[in-house]
């Protein structure tokens, strides 16, 4: 015989399933309307490749102008951060096979390109597996994609400094995520095969670009920290000829790719880790997985993650639409989402370590 709690839970789940269907139907309808209004949108592969090519071209132009001393460092950082935010959205669409699904060469070419110009991210072919898993178990302990970006943690200095650092942050979080994965395998929540896939991502997902770029970044920081300390204490410090020669190519690399991508990742990870709920969501309940962050004060972050906080929640309801279509349908999508009870700008999540409910839970 069902207990009162079980009956309430079943009713609640059924209610949210109905709300999800309503939202999904309205979003799909809005998408069809916008495609009918603008017939060129049917050329999805061409649009994706144009955004891909143009974004990379603008990154290269920005780099050349900077190297010719025609673009200041701040403008370079903001420019590259913006254009790589489009490449991030393209990568996400590619992971869902939205461009050149039947043309492996073009598909893989775009996958490689969005990685090379965002080289401090996980190999997108490895990321595909953990991203699909994210959709299946969003907000739970084995959602390693979001947990790796600080989702579910109390706000602290540690969360702040590691939110954009996949390597250092991953090292600090490795033990607790590993324990949760082992527990999930033992309880039957996770298959051994999936756990092995996570291990492969951890071992190989950062090779070769990501790991190399992070070590260059750490070397850069260590070098200038030593120089800074030497200046403060007026020490007679001189860099070796080897280090001086290395800094000739490291300095422009850091300016052109590393700092812009770290800045972009900070904006993206700040938004995504706080718009996704964690820890007390009902498994598979899309209504509880995300909220919409679209207040004006999020705009500085949204610029460099292509309005992610406002539109990504739509993707959880309808996964097979491109990122630019979501920009067109956001107004109608937000209206029905709000009517059905999806949360908007729930700032309490920052104090609740991203928990859905207002109660005391030990954070991850």
Task: Tell me the per-residue pLDDT of 301-345, one tens digit each, with 9 for 90 and over.
Answer: 999 999 999 999 999 999 999 999 999 999 999 999 999 999 999
Structural domain contains residue 182: yes
Helix (H, G, I), strand (E, B) or coil at 290: strand
Residue 215 lies in a domain: yes
Mean pLDDT within 159-181: 94
- Give residue-wise pLDDT tens across range 94-130: 999 999 999 999 999 999 999 999 999 999 999 999 9
Sign of CA dihedral 26, 285, 281, 146: negative
**In this predicted structure, what is the pLDDT of residue 3?**
37
User: Does residue 7 fall inside a structural domain?
Assistant: no
Q: Please tell me the predicted confidence (pLDDT) of residue 359.
A: 64
What tokens does 153 get? Answer: 């943690």
d(CA 186, CA 329): 42
- Look at the chain and report how many structural domains it folds into: 1
In a domain, 10, yes or no: no
Q: CA geometry: angle at 354 spanning 154 and 166, to 5°? A: 65
Output the pLDDT for position 254: 98
**Measured distance between the N- and C-terminal CA atoms of the chain, rounded to whole angstroms:** 35
Residue 4 has pLDDT above 70, yes or no: no
Write down the pLDDT at residue 234: 86
Residue 7 has pLDDT above 70, yes or no: no
User: Would you put residue 345 in left (φ > 0), alpha (ψ -120 to 50) or beta?
Assistant: left
The mean pLDDT value of the chain amounts to 93
Q: Is residue 359 part of a domain?
A: no
In a domain, 218, yes or no: yes
pLDDT of residue 12: 54
Provide the whole-model pTM. 0.93
pLDDT recorded at residue 272: 98
Q: What pLDDT, on a 0 to 100 scale, did the predictor assign at position 237?
A: 87
pLDDT, one tens digit per residue, over 250-288 is: 999 999 999 999 999 999 999 999 999 999 999 899 999
356 found inside a domain: no
Nearest to 198 by CA among 294, 132, 130, 148: 130
pLDDT at 282: 93
| 175-221 residue pLDDT tens | 999 999 999 999 999 999 999 999 999 889 999 999 999 999 999 99
Please state, in angstroms and rounded to a whole number, the distance separating the CA atoms of residues 33 and 329: 9
Mean pLDDT of 123-144: 96
> Domain range for residue 223?
15-350
Phi, psi of 273, rounded to the nearest 5 degrees: -70, -15
Buried b (16+ CB within 10 A) or exposed e, 65-89: ebeeeebeeeebbbbbbbbbbbbbb
Residue 226 has pLDDT above 60, yes or no: yes
- List own/partner pairs for 283-287 with CB under 8 A and 24 or more apart: 283/137, 283/140, 284/136, 285/13, 285/16, 286/16, 286/20, 286/138, 286/316, 286/317, 287/16, 287/19, 287/20, 287/340, 287/341, 287/342
Residue 362: pLDDT band (50, 70, 90) is: low
CA gap 333, 27 in Å, rounded: 5
In a domain, 247, yes or no: yes
How far apart are the C-alpha atoms of 321 and 31, rounded to whole Å? Answer: 8
**pLDDT of 23 strictly over 50:** yes
């Amino acid at each position: 015989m069902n207990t009162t709690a079980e009956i309430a839970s079943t009713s609640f789940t059924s209610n949210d399933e109905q709300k999800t269907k309503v939202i999904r139907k309205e979003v799909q309808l809005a998408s069809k309307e916008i495609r009918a209004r603008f017939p060129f949108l049917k050329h999805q592969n061409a649009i994706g490749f144009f955004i891909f090519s143009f974004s990379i071209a603008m990154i290269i132009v920005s780099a050349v102008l900077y190297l010719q001393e025609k673009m200041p460092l701040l403008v370079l950082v903001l420019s590259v951060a913006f254009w790589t935010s489009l490449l991030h959205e393209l990568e996400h669409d590619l992971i869902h096979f939205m461009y050149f699904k039947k043309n492996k060469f073009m598909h893989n070419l775009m996958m490689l390109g969005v990685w090379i110009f965002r080289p401090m991210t996980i190999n997108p072919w490895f990321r595909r597996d953990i991203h699909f898993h994210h959709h299946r178990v969003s907000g739970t302990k084995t959602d390693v994609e979001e947990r790796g970006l600080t989702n579910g943690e109390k706000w602290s200095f540690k969360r702040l400094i590691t939110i954009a650092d996949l390597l250092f942050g991953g090292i600090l979080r490795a033990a607790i995520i590993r324990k949760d994965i082992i527990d999930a395998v033992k309880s039957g929540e996770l298959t051994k095969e999936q756990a092995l896939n996570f291990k492969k991502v951890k071992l190989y997902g950062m090779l070769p670009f990501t790991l190399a770029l992070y070590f260059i970044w750490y070397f850069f920081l260590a070098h200038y920290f030593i120089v800074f300390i030497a200046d403060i204490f007026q020490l007679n410090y001189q860099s070796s000829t080897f280090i001086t020669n290395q800094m000739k190519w490291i300095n422009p690399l850091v300016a052109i790719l590393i700092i812009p991508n770290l800045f972009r990742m900070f904006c993206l990870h700040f938004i995504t880790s706080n718009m996704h709920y964690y820890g007390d969501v009902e498994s598979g309940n899309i209504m509880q997985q995300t909220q919409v962050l679209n207040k004006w004060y999020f705009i500085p972050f949204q610029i460099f993650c292509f309005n992610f906080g406002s539109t990504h929640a739509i993707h959880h309801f309808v996964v097979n639409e491109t990122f630019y279509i979501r920009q067109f349908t956001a107004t109608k999508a937000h209206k029905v989402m709000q009517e059905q009870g999806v949360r908007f700008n729930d700032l309490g999540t920052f104090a609740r370590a991203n928990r859905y409910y207002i109660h005391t839970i030990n954070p991850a």
